[in-house]
């Protein structure tokens, strides 16, 4: 089974609108961390936001928020007020406590922001 | 410190040749990771070091792949007898668990793109 599933290969959003990128995960660990990274065309992976499995509140970082639904094993990324510079690949990733320090990535979602 | 540095950024080689990539991590980071990313896929973990110790290497793709971090600073990833299937982006990342209150966020370099003809 896939550890991290991102079901949207590509998404369009109008500039200034909000968009949600989906991520579901599979783990039997109680302790794990969830990450979102952005990869623009230049290739560098840019860290956006982190959610620990024991965190009570959803993580937020500026225009990014993580909609963490533990029972459903989902960790969707919400980007508010989209900007043209948000156009990029977005990857969800998980670190499990019993998997050392390995990050497992999903297949990514390409976000395209329309002017 | 300007982040994680990787060299070369691009490498084109002929099948059967050996290639080596270098990664210079953020100086205060004691952990260093190598990932491979093929076109249209997410990064795939290869190996990682804590200081000079290679703590996980079972995910290296074959015995043609090897990595070193001799002094606990920069690291090299070598691929021997390259094959066309080795064509990919090789990403390096570093982290320091003590700096992120448990999140252990990985900071990635821009990657080294390998093309095997």
Closest Cα of chain B to A99: distance in Å? 10
How high is the pLDDT of residue A20? 98
Q: Which two tokens stand for residue A67?
A: 């909609």
CA torsion, points B14, B88, B3, B95, in degrees to nearest 10? -120
Distance, first Cα to last Cα, chain A: 38
Nearest to B102 among A46, A52, A93 (CB): A52
Answer yes or no: is pLDDT of B1 > 60: no
pLDDT tens sequence across A39-82 = 999 888 999 999 999 988 999 999 999 999 999 999 999 999 99
Phi, psi dihedral angles at B25 (to 5 degrees) = -80, 175
pLDDT in tens, B58-98: 888 889 999 999 888 999 999 999 999 999 999 999 988 76
Return phi, psi of residue A85, to 5°: -70, -5
3-state secondary structure of A68: strand
**pLDDT score recorded for residue B98:** 63
β-strands B112-116, B88-95: how paired? Answer: antiparallel
Chain A CB within 8 Å of residue B113 CB: yes
Task: For A8-22, write each residue's pLDDT tens digit.
Answer: 999 999 999 999 999
Q: What angle do CA A89, A94, A97 make, to 5 degrees?
A: 165
């Amino acid at each position: 089974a896939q550890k991290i599933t991102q079901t949207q290969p590509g998404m369009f959003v109008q500039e200034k609108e909000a968009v949600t990128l989906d991520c579901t995960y599979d783990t039997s660990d109680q302790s794990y961390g969830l990450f979102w990274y952005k990869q623009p065309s230049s290739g560098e992976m840019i860290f956006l936001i982190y959610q620990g499995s024991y965190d009570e509140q959803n993580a937020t970082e500026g225009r990014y928020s993580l909609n963490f639904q533990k029972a459903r094993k989902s960790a969707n990324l919400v980007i508010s007020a989209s900007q043209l510079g948000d156009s990029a690949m977005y990857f969800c990733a998980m670190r499990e406590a019993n998997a050392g320090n390995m990050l497992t990535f999903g297949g990514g979602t390409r976000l395209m922001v329309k002017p | 410190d300007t982040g994680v540095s990787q060299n070369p950024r691009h490498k084109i080689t002929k099948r059967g040749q050996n290639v080596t990539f270098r990664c210079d991590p953020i100086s205060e980071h004691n952990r260093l990771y190598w990932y491979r990313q093929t076109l249209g896929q997410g990064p795939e973990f290869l190996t990682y070091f804590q200081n000079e110790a290679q703590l996980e290497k079972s995910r290296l793709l074959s015995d043609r792949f090897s990595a070193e971090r001799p002094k606990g600073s920069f690291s090299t990833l070598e691929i021997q007898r390259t094959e066309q299937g080795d064509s990919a982006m090789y990403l390096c990342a570093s982290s320091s668990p003590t700096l992120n209150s448990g999140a252990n966020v990985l900071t990635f370099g821009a990657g080294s793109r390998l093309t095997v003809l």
